[in-house]
A and B are shown apart, each in its own frame.
Chain A
């Protein structure tokens, strides 16, 4: 099971956090601090796993961003690397060659995508296309609602004139 997902920048700034196991607010910032200390200092050729508090943290670096997932000690580390890559590819397709800024300004969209990939710390979909389709469908629902409200407010504005 994945206990949490972290996106940390090279400078140690948090870009996304998702907790599937209960961690109190204080505990969360402690975990993030501790892990950034462990992970950010590791050299490029080393393995992508860090043992931490009886768990394992699998991380992978994409440009300036570290994608980290904390798993149980007997989970399949190589598969989690694949899950990270799966998530990144979906992000990449959605944003069109994703960069850190996309994830900063559209952090909520990154969360929506993550929610289509993982639930309860388990993988829910192995098809990137299906995830993209689901997210797009929900985005268009939101767009439609927005347009509708805009047109209503336009009508009201017109009427008020």
Chain B
């Protein structure tokens, strides 16, 4: 015999493990035991197999790997004796789960055991099957289980019934096989069989409509009688719990009655009497009785009950709510939640009690109550409830603040018709729990402030005071700093003073002091600091005398280790220093943010339901709103302020027609440019500016088709413009184009070709679609500007999306930053990115490009690559210009603008291209 395996008994092993004082000791003991067991396994030792498996189970419970013991279970199950089988099945259930392949090997043994003559062995097999069977096993063994439902032994019957539940859960198709045997189980007297029979019926009702109808037709009366019998039965010691006979059976029958009575007046009618009886006669001084009452109330709420019965249920609920036992109060809140759809008035009556529960010491009760309050809020009580909740926010548990804040914000936003009230409540929440306020909430607040011109002064003064009081709350700092930057002069000059306000005196340098303080606080994060810098920059223009001081502060960050801050401070310093002439135009106040489209966009992004009407996503096109959110939450509202303004500057500075200056800029900047350049045109996209029509039309390929159009948040107006003017200018651009495409296009068919090349699908896989639209300048035929649009076709959002491209040596590639690095699911949004290809051998070789997309889905890295090509013509061949002589100022500005947009894709990776 093996010297190891004879070793310790199970008891001794447990003892020695328990004697271990350190984790290391325990590991050593377990390692030794495992070595012995492995040795025994490899020697195929039979005498101690069951003992070894028992040891393994204990080791498994401690969390050590025990996969090597799985086969031992199978061997024990295959043995003939009951003791071996018993331990074998236990090991099977503990060490394996339904997803392991090994489990398939046991199917045959299970089948034999299900047909065994010994009832206990059959019981073991049923138990194992019920606990861990997989869909395949369920299919294979369902006939055996079905047969056992008719067994004479009640213990086998009940086990077979529960086993059938598992089978139906795994393979709902099998449910009709169980319909008749299940109904016949309800005729039994044995409580175990009844309980499992009723449960099986519940499962069948859930699984198929047919079974539901069948059971409703044939079993409702039987079930009512079971309930009547058990509830009227005299003292039965075997089933008695706290003076009630078999509460488990009560509850299960009540539950199935709820399912049967739902939406069915006839069967509801049948059960009215017995429900009334249970509701009135059940004692409520013990948990068991309350459990029955709880189930009974739920059933009354669920079925088509008479109004008298409803009143009864509501009264029980009232009793529950005022109960001192926390468990009872918890379940009361639970039912109220479901009752609210049935009888709102009755629930409203308990509002005060529910509000008290929000302040309970018990986290579970608080959470339930808060959910309920959220459902209870309506126009009339919103202000009162919010006042209570905000007051409570002050003293609540830190753990609870997050939930509470989120709910308060939701309610406040829902009832935000009264702007002043909305702003007041939001400011309170920001100063009390600003660290828990979600980004989209304070984004919405900023949009709201920008849309309320008469409250801007009030807001900025209030925020200033709040910020002065505390710099602890991150999102308060952000909103306040943004407002101070935008509306600094309202703060100092007390513009738009409201009667309710307390007057404050703030000097220009006070405002700068405060922002500086926020900037320098060590806990402030990078985004907030960046916002502080923008705010300071804006203040330098609002208060010209402070310009030097601001420059000083900004300059201190020139050496910051954070790239973001460093870059901003260098750029801002140079704006203050070198471009004073245009500074004020550059730093003008943000145009009013489009509230409607922000809200709809936000709804679209939070609701993630792909079914959303395409119109609503399309309405998010408006340039400014989209800029608020697009770049992955990195570009914050102040940033958006900066982009248009900066571009604005480029136009003022360089009066060259936009065509040439902006050739190398990504189209979305171009669009900003267009909008800002023409103050008369509203900021929403799609409004073509006549001046620039020509140069866009220069390339017909840029004409966007619909996916591009409603997908592009930032530059959608671009294709629109092109399209709208195509008819007038058709002849000229076509010839330009064909010049570039001369390799394979014949000009005679140009009108139809031009349609084909509006935009092409460059790449498409199951998850991702990329469309390219092309643009070219007539004077630089070598260069092609490609506007790429990425659409996510899968149902998961992609993060960290990076597009890379590689080209042969004769082509030069220049990638502009992407509009975002997050790609929403189901094509609910797109990323756009521009690239410029310069073909040095224009006219001799066609363009070709390899592309690679890397992204994360559910934190899993994915990589896709392919050859960008035009479906119609294998490889697209275009030629492109390269604007090498960009104006230096422009380049700098471009850098300023680009870094707001997360310039992750600046570096190009041509290394994987093999010509």
Residues of A within 8 A of B (CB): 14-20, 22-25, 29, 43, 45-51, 76-79, 81-83, 86, 104-105, 107-108, 111-112, 115, 119-120, 122-130, 134, 137-138, 141-142, 145-146
Closest to A75 in B: B255
Bound CA–CA A138/B119 (angstroms): 10
Bound CA–CA A78/B255 (angstroms): 14
Query: Are the C-beta atoms of A124 and B327 separated by less than 8 Å?
Result: no
Query: Are the C-beta atoms of B131 and A124 separated by less than 8 Å?
Result: no
Query: Are the C-beta atoms of A124 and B162 separated by less than 8 Å?
Result: yes
Q: Assess whether B94 is interfacial by the CB under 8 Å rule.
A: yes
Bound CA–CA A14/B388 (angstroms): 42
15 residue pairs of the A-B complex, CB under 8 angstroms, read A14-B62, A16-B61, A20-B131, A22-B97, A46-B362, A47-B330, A78-B287, A78-B290, A78-B294, A82-B288, A122-B165, A124-B159, A125-B195, A130-B192, A145-B83
Query: Are the C-beta atoms of A47 and B329 separated by less than 8 Å?
Result: yes
Residues of A within 8 A of B57 (CB): 107-108
Majority secondary structure, B binding face: helix
Q: Assess whether B249 is interfacial by the CB under 8 Å rule.
A: yes
> Apart from A47-B365, A50-B364, A146-B83, what are 15 other A-B pairs with CB-CB below 8 Å?
A14-B63, A46-B326, A76-B295, A77-B334, A78-B294, A78-B327, A82-B287, A108-B87, A115-B131, A119-B130, A120-B163, A123-B195, A123-B199, A134-B155, A142-B86
Bound CA–CA A159/B63 (angstroms): 45
Q: Assess whether B29 is interfacial by the CB under 8 Å rule.
A: no
Residues of B within 8 A of A19 (CB): 97
Provided the pairs A123-B195, A125-B158, A129-B238 are in contact, do residues A108 and B54 lie with their beta carbons within 8 angstroms?
A: yes
Q: Assess whether B408 is interfacial by the CB under 8 Å rule.
A: no
Provided the pairs A47-B364, A120-B166, A124-B162 are in contact, do residues A76 and B83 lie with their beta carbons within 8 angstroms?
A: no
Q: Which of A111, A119, A127, A145 contacts B94 (CB 8 A)?
A: A111
Contact residues of B between 460 and 500, Cβ < 8 Å to A: none
Contact residues of B between 52 and 99, Cβ < 8 Å to A: 54, 57-58, 61-63, 65, 81-83, 86-87, 90, 93-94, 97-99
Q: Assess whether B120 is interfacial by the CB under 8 Å rule.
A: yes
Provided the pairs A47-B329, A119-B127, A119-B162 are in contact, do residues A138 and B248 lie with their beta carbons within 8 angstroms?
A: no
Q: Assess whether B126 is interfacial by the CB under 8 Å rule.
A: yes
Query: Are the C-beta atoms of A122 and B82 separated by less than 8 Å?
Result: no
Residues of B within 8 A of A138 (CB): 82, 86, 120
Bound CA–CA A125/B193 (angstroms): 8
Residues of B within 8 A of A (CB): 11, 14, 18, 54, 57-58, 61-63, 65, 81-83, 86-87, 90, 93-94, 97-99, 120, 123, 126-127, 130-131, 155, 158-159, 162-163, 165-166, 169, 191-192, 195-196, 199, 238-239, 241, 246-249, 251, 255, 287-288, 290-291, 294-295, 298, 326-331, 334, 361-365, 367-368
Residues of A within 8 A of B365 (CB): 47
Bound CA–CA A129/B236 (angstroms): 12
Query: Are the C-beta atoms of B62 and A47 separated by less than 8 Å?
Result: no
Residues of B within 8 A of A50 (CB): 364
Provided the pairs A22-B97, A125-B192, A126-B248 are in contact, do residues A104 and B90 lie with their beta carbons within 8 angstroms?
A: no
Bound CA–CA A83/B246 (angstroms): 11
Query: Are the C-beta atoms of A78 and B248 separated by less than 8 Å?
Result: no
Q: Which of A48, A51, A127 contacts B191 (CB 8 A)?
A: A127
Tell me the number of A-to-B contacts counted with CB atoms below 8 Å.
159
Query: Are the C-beta atoms of A111 and B90 separated by less than 8 Å?
Result: yes
The 10 lowest CB-CB distance pairs between A and B, nearest first, are A78-B291, A47-B326, A119-B162, A119-B130, A120-B166, A120-B130, A125-B192, A46-B362, A126-B248, A142-B83
What is the minimal beta-carbon distance from B254 to any residue of chain A, in angstroms? 9
Bound CA–CA A20/B169 (angstroms): 12
Closest to B94 in A: A111
Residues of B within 8 A of A82 (CB): 241, 247-248, 287-288, 291
Closest to A25 in B: B65
What is the minimal beta-carbon distance from A133 to any residue of chain B, in angstroms? 9
Provided the pairs A47-B327, A48-B327, A78-B327 are in contact, do residues A126 and B192 lie with their beta carbons within 8 angstroms?
A: yes
Residues of A within 8 A of B65 (CB): 25
Residues of B within 8 A of A124 (CB): 158-159, 162, 192, 195-196
Residues of A within 8 A of B58 (CB): 107
Q: Which of A14, A76, A86 contacts B61 (CB 8 A)?
A: A14
What is the minimal beta-carbon distance from A85 to any residue of chain B, in angstroms? 8
Residues of A within 8 A of B191 (CB): 125-127
Query: Are the C-beta atoms of A104 and B195 separated by less than 8 Å?
Result: no
What is the minimal beta-carbon distance from A131 to any residue of chain B, in angstroms? 9
What is the minimal beta-carbon distance from B138 to any residue of chain A, in angstroms? 11
Residues of A within 8 A of B98 (CB): 22
Residues of A within 8 A of B165 (CB): 120, 122
Query: Are the C-beta atoms of B287 and A81 separated by less than 8 Å?
Result: yes
Query: Are the C-beta atoms of A77 and B330 separated by less than 8 Å?
Result: yes
Query: Are the C-beta atoms of B97 and A104 separated by less than 8 Å?
Result: no
What is the minimal beta-carbon distance from B292 to any residue of chain A, in angstroms? 8
What is the minimal beta-carbon distance from B878 to any residue of chain A, in angstroms? 51
Provided the pairs A79-B247, A138-B120 are in contact, do residues A46 and B61 lie with their beta carbons within 8 angstroms?
A: no
Query: Are the C-beta atoms of B63 and A108 separated by less than 8 Å?
Result: no
Query: Are the C-beta atoms of B155 and A108 separated by less than 8 Å?
Result: no
Residues of A within 8 A of B195 (CB): 123-126
Closest to A52 in B: B364
Bound CA–CA A125/B159 (angstroms): 9
Residues of A within 8 A of B331 (CB): 77-78
Residues of A within 8 A of B287 (CB): 78, 81-82
Bound CA–CA A15/B14 (angstroms): 12
What is the minimal beta-carbon distance from B51 to any residue of chain A, in angstroms? 11
Bound CA–CA A104/B62 (angstroms): 11
Residues of A within 8 A of B334 (CB): 77
Residues of B within 8 A of A24 (CB): 97, 99
Bound CA–CA A24/B367 (angstroms): 29
Residues of A within 8 A of B120 (CB): 137-138, 141
Q: Which of A107, A122, A145 has the most chain B CB atoms inside 10 A of its CB?
A: A122
Query: Are the C-beta atoms of B362 and A47 separated by less than 8 Å?
Result: yes
Residues of B within 8 A of A14 (CB): 61-63
Closest to B247 in A: A82
Residues of A within 8 A of B86 (CB): 112, 138, 142
Residues of B within 8 A of A123 (CB): 195-196, 199, 248
Residues of A within 8 A of B82 (CB): 138, 141-142, 145
Residues of A within 8 A of B247 (CB): 79, 82
Provided the pairs A79-B248, A108-B87, A126-B192 are in contact, do residues A22 and B99 lie with their beta carbons within 8 angstroms?
A: yes
Closest to B293 in A: A78
Query: Are the C-beta atoms of A119 and B131 separated by less than 8 Å?
Result: yes
Closest to B97 in A: A22
